[in-house]
A = this chain, B = another copy of it.
């Protein structure tokens, strides 16, 4: 089974079962984005989490093991994605990358925001002029080590 097939199987099961990410969040005690990342094989679950997830989707337990293997991450094709929703994050990096760099260095010194010791939340902010998508990224600041 390729990664694309695993993802499709899990998403189809999720649809057939009629379960939402919010519900999975409650069942697993993990954030819905992280769970979606496991389904897309961008994150690896431990055995307990994998079993709970597979069970919640109504799949047989044998699917659980696959979800515990550290995956080959990053899967967008082409390298600058064309899907408008995903592309906007590329655009944000292009437009706001240098300004963020400037501000982060002023606040923290030379270093980066970790994308590994990192969490990402998606929230709906209700607004009479149109609801808003709020994406909160929170990563440990890693200062450059000198040696």
Which residues of A are interface residues toward B (Cβ below 8 A)?
11, 20-21, 30-34, 36-37, 39-40, 42-44, 70, 72-122, 124-125, 127, 129-147
Q: Which of B42, B94, B120, B122 contacts A73 (CB 8 A)?
A: B94
Q: Is the interface of A mostly helix, strand, loop or mixed?
A: mixed
- Chain B residue numbers with a CB within 8 Å of A115 are 84, 88, 91-92, 95
Q: Are B79 and A78 in contact (CB under 8 A)?
A: yes
Say yes or no: A102-B145 contact (C-beta < 8 A), given A33-B96, A73-B95, A115-B91.
no
A-B contact pairs, 14 of them (CB 8 A): A31-B147, A36-B100, A39-B102, A40-B98, A40-B102, A44-B110, A70-B101, A74-B81, A75-B82, A80-B80, A85-B101, A92-B120, A100-B135, A108-B133
A103 adjacent to B122 (CB under 8 Å): yes
Among the listed B31, B33, B37, B92, which residue makes an inter-chain contact with A89, where contact means beta carbons less than 8 Å apart?
B92
Q: How far is the CB of A128 from chain B (nearest CB, A)?
A: 12
Q: Is the CB of A74 within 8 A of B100?
A: no
* Complex Cα gap A105–B21 (Å): 11
A sample of 6 more A-B contacts (CB under 8 A), given A92-B118, A107-B133, A131-B141, is: A36-B102, A70-B109, A74-B83, A75-B94, A76-B93, A85-B111
